[in-house]
Structure 1
Amino acid sequence: MLFLYLTAEYKSKEHGLNQVVLWDKIVKRGDNTILDLRQANTKYYFWDYGNGLKGNDNVTLTLSWNVIPNAGTLPKIKGSGSHVIHFPDQYTGGRV
């Protein structure tokens, strides 16, 4: 069994490191392991209580996973790549 999760990491004026889980999924043995997430929404809201996201040029997305064993230790494995996104200085007032 696998526990997959996507995190976003960023710095803000109030905190040196912020980590947010945006999405997660448990994949059981025998499940369809092809995940097509091109049209998926985030599972959890992504917001900052201050202004840490607005205009932030370094929000790093990372996919990690845990192999959930039948017995023994729980290893944490981080994906070998990451993706940096840039947030705009202004947000829209409605849907685009």
Structure 2
Amino acid sequence: MTDEPDLPILDAPRDKVHYRTVLHDVGHIEPFLDEIESWVALPVRVTHNPITGIVLELGPYSIARDSLTQLREALDVADYCINHPPTHRTENP
């Protein structure tokens, strides 16, 4: 695991997930939560268990394979917009 963040960690206890294996601990991302008007640290892990298979964990959220395509697309659009600032809203780059 990377260094512990200075921000509050938003995560869920996972000790009751049977046979869960952390395959890779990526560290933390630091999103801003409007609801609490604060930054938090979300641990990012790739894990496996016999029921869900391989999932991406973002803090308390488990993202299964089916949702990774949408997440990839959102990241691609965000990356594109960062590198090519839009002059108007667009559905696809």
TM above 0.5, yes or no, is no
Q: Which has the higher contact order (CA 8 A, sep 6+)?
A: 1
User: What is the TM-score with the length of structure 1 in the denominator?
Assistant: 0.26
**TM-score, normalising length: structure 2:** 0.26
More helix by share: 2
